[in-house]
Amino acid sequence: MGETEKKEQLEMMREAGVKAGIAPVQNLFNEDQRIEEVKRLGILDLNLSRESRYNSMTQVATYLTDCPQSTINILGSNVQQCKASFGFEPEQKEMMEEIPREISVCQFGLAKPGQPLIIENILEDDRTKNWKNMPFDPGFRFYASLPLMSSRGFSIGTLCVFDPNPKNLDHQQIDGLRLLSDQIVHMLEKELNPKEGVAVPEDKTKEQPSQMKGQYYSVTSILFADFIGFTNLVENSDPGELLETLNIFFNGFDRIISKHNVLKVKTVGDCYMCVGGIPSQQKTHAKEVCAAAIDLLKFVEGTNIQYEALGKPCWELRIGIHSGPVIAGSAGNAFDIWGDAVNIAARLESSGESGKIHISEKTKDYLEGTGNCTPRGEVELKGKGSWSTFFLEGLN
């Protein structure tokens, strides 16, 4: 198909989408930076149709999910390009090669960067139900996608699976797609930017501002621990004694998380923060962080027994854990992590209870049946809406 014909076809599809009542996703956060990332990689100009590695990834995606079709799509500012696929007829593949982004299903994944998009029934979901008004039927009713997140933390596209019947996926199937999407991005970045990550030249002067360096991790488990009533302790304790006590606790916490392969992020006042899954992305990240949390509580309980015998005030610890994607990096020598998953873990901690480990449903999923959890029901997390959460009682 020539360029003129392609442009005419795209315009016809846009007009059909408007008539059908398909509403494009609006007010995307950091969309300009996301588009710059797509341009940096130059992937819209890349032809992967003959690259067996990428087509094989889509085939594996169908095996993982028991869906008959899969695609790798790249999302530009106004088009969506299919770079690899499995399970489609030649005429379908030609149709999908490039379509207007505003009529695609993948566009809705941009509203929540880093998160899977699951639409159990295309014709019943408010975002896609008007597809029935289009002059052509895409032939699928179920859709699921994992974002292709670049190392800089921007969604450049999706790894999708399709099924002609409404259905759903379980946690392991979704996580399998996540692992595939990570590998796809790794291959793309290695091919397109082989020099990415080269060290800063030695002639960099001290006067130049330090650069923030970060790496996207598609899944981690984040722990926040905080001492309840710390303000009251500050008001009623000698500053030197207070500092000594915090050092006892935080030094003990450091030893505990090191034993469980968990990485310390930082302490802020009486708050202690650590993360599992960095840098190795090990499957056991949630179990390791939860095991560390259990030991943190035991350490505080043991220390309080000693304090009680000495007539000192006891300290009460509250813990929150959530699993999700983050950007991990540093400015200078300071390590930190960023992302919505971090904020959710903090909210879980602040809405928890003394002596308990408050975890999200996502963390419970990653425990894969090894956690002894008590449902807490729906909990309103400040600024995050209603969440289904649990108290972790132990590990099997």
CB-based contacts of 255, cutoff 8 Å, min separation 6: none
Specify whether the CB–CB gap between 162 and 140 falls below 8 A: yes
- Domains, in order of start, for the chain: 3-192 (3.30.450.40), 212-395 (3.30.70.1230)
Q: Per the structure block, which two tokens stand in for 180?
A: 């595939």
The enclosing H or E element of 303 equals helix 285-309
Specify whether the CB–CB gap between 46 and 83 falls below 8 A: yes
Per DSSP, the three-state class of 296 is helix
| 9 closest CA partner among 75, 87, 96 | 96
Specify whether the CB–CB gap between 89 and 52 falls below 8 A: no
Distance separating alpha carbons of residues 173 and 394, to the nearest angstrom: 26
Q: Centre a 10 Å sphere on the Cβ of residue 4 and count the other Cβ atoms it contains.
A: 8
Q: Per the structure block, which two tokens stand in for 313?
A: 């005030």
Specify whether the CB–CB gap between 278 and 263 falls below 8 A: yes
pLDDT of residue 190: 87
What percent of the chain clears pLDDT 90, i.e. is strictly above it? Answer: 72
Mean pLDDT over 261-279 rounds to 93
Distance separating alpha carbons of residues 140 and 118, to the nearest angstrom: 13
Mean pLDDT over 344-366 rounds to 97
Pairing outcome for strands 357-360 and 316-331: parallel
| 84 closest CA partner among 48, 120, 114, 59 | 48
pLDDT tens, residue by residue, 64-96? 999 999 999 999 999 999 999 999 998 888 888
pLDDT value at 309 more than 70: yes
Cα dist from 383 to 255, 340, 348, whole Å: 34, 11, 12
Distance separating alpha carbons of residues 128 and 139, to the nearest angstrom: 13
Q: Per the structure block, which two tokens stand in for 124?
A: 């019943």
Average the pLDDT over each of 105-119, 234-248, 371-385 and give the range with the smallest value.
Answer: 234-248
Distance separating alpha carbons of residues 341 and 321, to the nearest angstrom: 10
Residue reference for tokens 């840098």? 279
pLDDT of residue 47: 85
pLDDT value at 233 more than 80: no
Specify whether the CB–CB gap between 141 and 128 falls below 8 A: no
Q: Per the structure block, which two tokens stand in for 146?
A: 């994992």
Specify whether the CB–CB gap between 160 and 143 falls below 8 A: yes
Confidence class for position 266, pLDDT limits 50, 70, 90: very high
pLDDT tens, residue by residue, 4-63? 888 888 999 999 999 999 999 988 989 999 999 999 999 998 888 778 899 999 999 999
Distance separating alpha carbons of residues 293 and 262, to the nearest angstrom: 10
**What integer best gives the mean pLDDT of the chain?**
90
Q: Per the structure block, which two tokens stand in for 239?
A: 């500053």
**Core vs surface per residue 280-311: b (16+ CB within 10 A) or e:** eeeebbbbbbbbbbbbbbebbeebbeeeeeee
Q: Which amino acid is at 264?
A: K
Q: Per the structure block, which two tokens stand in for 212?
A: 């923030």
pLDDT tens, residue by residue, 121-153? 999 999 999 988 988 877 899 999 999 999 999
Cα dist from 69 to 92, 94, 356, whole Å: 11, 15, 44
Confidence class for position 269, pLDDT limits 50, 70, 90: confident
Cα dihedral 300, 303, 305, 306 in deg (nearest 10): -170
Per DSSP, the three-state class of 205 is coil
CA atoms lying within 13 Å on the CB side of residue 278:
26
